């Protein structure tokens, strides 16, 4: 989904709101740990 589409669907948001949400999500994902089972 493009930023423009989000802004059309949610006119109360600003471009800065979208960028802040994306930055938050990226930071949250960066701190996740992926465990892989290699004993197969």
Number of domains present in the structure of the chain: 1
Q: How many percent of the chain have pLDDT more than 90?
A: 62
Give the residue numbers spanning the domain of 19: 1-32
**Is there a domain that residue 2 lies in?**
yes
**Is there a domain that residue 37 lies in?**
no
Higher pLDDT, 27 or 17: 17
**Is there a domain that residue 40 lies in?**
no
pLDDT of residue 31: 78
- Could you read off the pLDDT of 1-14 as tens digits, one per residue? 899 999 999 999 99
Q: What is the rounded CA–CA span in Å between residue 4 and residue 23?
A: 17
pLDDT of residue 40: 66
Higher pLDDT, 31 or 14: 14
């Amino acid at each position: 989904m493009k930023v423009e589409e989000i802004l059309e669907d949610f006119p109360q948001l600003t471009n800065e709101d979208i960028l802040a949400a994306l930055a938050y999500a990226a930071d949250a994902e960066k701190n996740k740990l992926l465990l892989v089972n290699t004993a197969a």
